[in-house]
Structure 1
């Protein structure tokens, strides 16, 4: 039994042959519900070497220093994925729930950071587009500045394009099928006849762009800005335009069959001859919009 009432008293630990020296306060303060805290609460008899005073714990001591550093400072070490798996296993044994949660958070952030790192540079892109039939299918280009480049006919299908700058780029007839382009910037870009089928463009800035005859069917366009964009004859069937800003956009002849327009801003938009059959316009802002010749059969207003 450890009866020393001084919580700062020294404790010697032998973890699978690896020896450590710490205090009762360190072992009990940060994670009071852990097995270690229970061991040194004074309520349990411990396996202690009578000569050298070490408390023996039959576990691999490889990562125990990381456990002590967590208990002292709340610091999660930088390890490989396999190292984190081993540390979590030890943390589970010692019932250190806070450490397990912290490791999971660090691992998740690391994966997110790795996914957001572009695989190519702007220079790499320029070199590639000088050749014919360029494809960046499935490539991670997140965060790159590709503004003002001629990227017409380039195939970006299935690529990760988060936070990419495409401002004033020529993207005519480019393919963006099923891309993840969340929060990307297409301001004043040429996007005529582009294919965005199934693309995630959530929060993207597409204001002032030319999207004539572009295909945005089934695309996620939530919170997008299309202010002043040219969407004449664009295909927007079943696209999700929830909270999208289309103020002043030209949607003449556009097909919006099945599109979601909840809280979308279409003030002053040109919707002449647009296809809006059975579309729910109840929560859509249409003040000043031109609806001459629009097909509104069955539309909810």
Structure 2
């Protein structure tokens, strides 16, 4: 009887091993099946890409940009592979819907500005020195550079705009009115009282109140914003604030320094920059060379703002 029990136990053990092995084999087969399906899907996607690959006949490409005609080389258009034009003319995309009857490719953008985009593709950043020193025109170029995803040109134009569009100390004095008296900004109930700092963001006094004060692409090197009380939201975007000074200021609303140059910019004895009631941001701005007083630096670091 004991021999029979032993045989049963042995058979049971073998059966369990067989069941476990079958389960493992099934799991492996399922994994192999999934891998085959994934490989098949990748191959189908690759075939679709191959079928859609656009073959350029010759190296000269004719373009119709917003009605303005251009001719350039394929190598010029693909000089920056990660840009929109680089991807568009890489050959990996079907451009039949963009192709005109005369064989040119239509791009629905500003044709005048595209001349400068094309020159940048040909000659690089050195061509930026030949751009017109007009803020309005340069902003137009900047829009196109962003659309075509030419990061180098975007950076170069941002620097050029800051050089061209300079804010003077007199502009600051004019824009931020004396704060010694009461002012009704919109002729209604918005009354602002003078404070110990002496200046405030008082735009268009006795006309319309300003919801936000915004400066973009400005050269504000060395300017003094000392003893100014900012009651409106303040946004400084892509501004060069090298050597500027924010000392004994008071911020009563949101403030943002976005993509700004803050080399040797002084922040000291400031009230309201780090509070729970409004936000402060240094997004994209390099703050490592800015000069914060010890208390402010500790507060900003604690709030993970710098």
Name which structure has the greater RCO, CA cutoff 8 Å, separation 6+. Answer: 2
User: Based on CA coordinates, which of the two structures has the bigger radius of gyration?
Assistant: 2
Instruction: Pick the structure with more strand per residue.
Output: 2
TM over 0.5: no
Instruction: Pick the structure with more helix per residue.
Output: 2
Pick the TM interval, shorter chain.
Answer: 0.3 to 0.5
TM-score norm. by structure 2 comes to 0.35
TM-score norm. by structure 1 comes to 0.36
